[in-house]
Every structure is written in structure tokens, then in C-alpha cells.
Structure 1
Amino acid sequence: MNLRFIEPSLRILNSLKTLAGLAVISALAACSAGRDANAPTAENLAAPLDDYLARRGDICLAMFDWPIDLTEAGSGARHAVQFPVMEQLGLVQSTIVAAPKSKENPDGAIKRFDLTEAGRQFYKPHPHASHGTEHASDFCVAHLKREKIVDVKVDASDARHPLAVVSYTYQVDTAPWMRNADAQRVFPMITRIMNGAGGPLQLRQGFRRDDRGWVAQMGPV
């Protein structure tokens, strides 16, 4: 008698295992099907952020158009501090050029800086609009890559086109000459970004969702 009960019991057990397996597969499929590829999650925003940084991750100095002239009246400006160091590093070279005397240029002379061959390798295509003027290139000294997304804040007031602000840690590839102490002194913001790589400093990037998915937004966030 016992044998007649054992065999059906084994069949029932095997059937239960099969049903349980099918239930797990169905649950996984349902989760996969229900996952919103456009939801504002770190997983979904990682690829758009990587794409944006690949295209626009250069850190540049707003030195758009060369040569750049420096007058005595501008001797306290940032270029007057930065250009001598850049010249010592072989990135630019200067010449004295006569110019009409004016209130801005009482000496009738300007110091004109132009890129050297070594400096031109850092002058890259980098479209940018400044004060209503379009610039095609800029002098760039570093490039950012995502390390990890640590936070996503969402503004869903426009349900069709929500906004998301991604905070992330990063890695940075920096021009070799930025290891120079004088270069770090005259470019303090670049130095701060260098020192913040790998976690101490987080950067933010804004995104807007449209028919193409999550699209990076230009400007501060």
C-alpha cells in the first residue's frame, strides 16, 4: 500500500516544482515588461549622461579666439595672470604690437599672445555661445567621465516632459602641464576639479525627457 501512495506523491511534488519554476519565470517577465525605460532612475540616466560627457565633457577656459591681446589697462585681468604661466609652459608666445593710444590703452602698445604648436593641441572644437556670439572652438584642459550616479532629483510638474538633475562622481583626464604648481595656482577651478575626482566632489547635470528619451540640458542646474 505504501508504494501506491509514494508514486503519486512524487508526481505531485515534481508538478509543484514545475509550477513554481513557471511562476518565477512569469514574475521575472512581468517585472521586465513593466520596467519603464524612461523612468528617471540612475540606471536609465547613466547612458544619456555618458553620451553627453563623451560629446561635451571637455573643461575649457573660455579662450575662444586667438590671438588674444592684453593691454596695460587689463593687467589685473585673469589673462594677465594666466598667460605668463602658459608662456613659461610653452603653450603660448607673446609679441609687443603698436596700437592707437586710448583711455583703455594709454601706452599705445599691447601684448599679443598666440598659441604655440604645443598649445594648439589643446585648442579643440567646442561650440559655445557667449554674450550673443557663437564660438566654434576653445582651449580645453581636461575631460570628464562618469564614475557613479549618486542621486537623481526629479521635477515632474510637466508630466509629458519631466526634468531630472543627476548628481555624480567623476574621473578626469587632465592636460599633463596641469601638474605644474604654477598652473594649478593660476587655474584654481581646474585644480579643484582635479582634486575632487574619485568621490570628494560631485557634479550635476540636468536632463529633460522628450520623444527621444532623456536629453541633456545646457546651462547651470
Structure 2
Amino acid sequence: MKSYLALALAAVVSLTACDNKIEANDKNISLAVANYLDKKGELCLELTEWPLSISPSDMENKDVIPDALVPKMEALKALGLTAEAPGGNDPNDTNPYKPEVVVKRYVLTDAGKKIYREKEVTKYDYSNKTSKKVIEGDLCYGQKKLVKVINWTTPAKAGKWLFVNVTYAYKIDKVADWAKRPELSAAFPEIAENLAEAGKMEKKVLLKLNEQGWDEYDIGFD
């Protein structure tokens, strides 16, 4: 009878260990990487300030640099995602990063607004060690999804935290049709590069163990 009881207790302990969120096992590490990609794996054009103001130097570079700002806007305009608006002073343009002289502006069309995604992000002020949540948007065309975790390092302690460095493979889901258009390749070469890398390029992410389990390491003020 005692032997059966011991076996039962061992099984319970074993199951508890498998379900422990702090264990560096395949289930927990894969879940952490999948959550990380869900939060930060959206592929976007990194055009976050709208209306987008064009300066005199932007106009000078438009025929010199293929992926300069104006060619980018013109490529999106050809797809019906952006439209030109007058330059000069505009009291409705609250973009804090706009140039002193605005030659013209690009705004999102109704079609552009449909692919514009807003999400909450954390902005850090490292000099004052403060942070705040802000809403930031972008034009997005795909979402990275985990295919598999390839390997991870032995958990190592740094300060009060445990870390693992994870190598993984991913795919891209929900690729927008407009992002596949060849006329975008010169203005946005990173689109073709990102799509080509999916499934072929191994990536790494640093995970940190916290009270809830493993999560992507966000530098913050640790």
C-alpha cells in the first residue's frame, strides 16, 4: 500500500513541476516566445506620425535616394493609401516632429485608414527614469507567428533575475495584398526582405523570469 501511495505522490509532484510556469521547459519557453511575437511581431512601415510633413531636404533627396520619404509616400499614393495635402502652416497639424518649413503633407486616405493600426506602447525617459503609456499607430502588413523554438540557453542569473536566450523560427500570417505589390519594392525594400526571411532566418529573443513566468526582457529601468 505504501508503495502505491509513494507512486501517486511522485506523479502529483511530477505533474506540478510540468505545470510550473517558472520551469525553463519547452512548453513555457514556447508560450513566452509566442506571446512576445503576438505583442511585438506585427510588421509595419514605421510611419507613425500623420499627417506626414515633407521638408525641403526631403524634396531634394526624392530623386537621389530610392527609399527616401517622398518616394515612399508616392508609392503608397499610387496604391490609393495616401494623398497629398497643402504645406505651410497648419494649426491642425499637431505633429511635434514636423520640420520648420513644410513643403507639403501626406495624409491617409480612407483605404489607408483601414490598414492603420493603433496600439499602446511604453515610452521610456531614461534620463529621468520615468515611463508613460502612449498610443502609437502605423501601417501594418503582416504578423509574425511562432513556428518552433529551436533551442535556448541554460538559465543564467544577472542581478536578481534569471534569463534565457532563445533561438526560434517564425512564419508571417495575414500578409496584406498591397504589401506584395512589386511597385513597393524600391520604396520599401524591407517588405520583401521581411517576407523572404520568414521560415528561413532564425531569430533570437532574451526572456526574463518574473512572477508570472517567462516573458520578453524589456530593458525598462532594471
Aligning the two structures, in what range does the TM-score lie when normalised by the shorter sequence? 0.7 to 0.9
Distance 2:178 2:35 in 1: 27
Q: Contact (CA 8 Å) 2:53, 2:102: kept in 1 or not? A: no
TM-score by length of 1: 0.72
3-state DSSP class of the match of 2:161? coil
Residues 134-173 of structure 1 mapped to structure 2, 5 A cutoff: 134-154=134-154, 156-158=156-158, 161-173=161-173
CA distance in 1, matches of 2:87, 2:113: 22
Equivalent pairs: percent with the same residue?
20
Question: Which residue of structure 1 aligns with residue 93 of structure 2?
Answer: none
Higher-Rg member (1/2): 1
Which of 107, 117, 123 is the matching residue for 2:110? 117
Matched, 1:64 2:48: yes
Matched residue of 1:171: which SS? strand
Which position in structure 2 is the counterpart of 1:16?
none
SS at match of 1:147: strand
Q: What's the CA shift for 1:41?
A: 3.0
Q: Is the 8 A contact 1:82 1:187 kept in 2?
A: yes
| CA distances 1:113-144 after superposition (whole Å, capped 9, x unpaired) | 00011111221123345686944322222211
- C-alpha distance after superposition, 1:159-214 (max 9, x if no partner): 8521122221111132211111121332222221101122x112222221011111
1:12 corresponding residue in structure 2:
none
Is 1:86 the counterpart of 2:86 in the alignment?
Answer: no
Tell me, in whole angstroms, the C-alpha distance in 1 between the residues paired with 2:54 and 2:186: 20
Give, in angstroms, the shift of residue 57 of structure 1. Answer: 2.3
- Residues 85-104 of structure 1 mapped to structure 2, 5 A cutoff: 85-99=75-89
Larger mean CA deviation between 118-127 and 154-163 belongs to 154-163
Residue ranges of structure 2 left out of the alignment (5+ in a row): 62-66, 91-98, 126-131
One of 26, 33, 38 as aligned partner of 2:22? 38
Offset of residue 24 of structure 1: 8.8
| Cα deviations by residue, 1:66-119 (Å, 9 ceiling, x for unpaired) | 11111221232732221110100111001232359xxx77xx661210001111
AA paired with 2:42? D
For the aligned residues, what is the CA RMSD? 3.2
Q: Is the 8 A contact 1:41 1:152 kept in 2?
A: no
- Greater helix share, 1 or 2? 1
The range that moved more, 33-42 or 169-178, is 33-42
Call closer, same or farther: CA 1:131–1:139 in 2, change over 3 Å.
farther
Q: Contact conserved, 2:118 with 2:135, CA < 8 A, in 1?
A: no
Structure 1, gaps ≥5 residues long: 1-18
Return the alpha-carbon distance in structure 2 between the equivalents of residues 131 and 209 of structure 1.
Answer: 21
Matched position secondary structure for 1:90: coil
Distance 1:78 1:166 in 2: 35
Q: Count the aligned residue pairs.
A: 194
1:49 aligns with 2:42: no
Cα pair distance change 1:44/1:98, threshold 3 Å? closer
Pick which of 134-143 and 164-173 moved more: 134-143
Kept in 2, the 8 Å contact 1:160–1:210? The answer is no
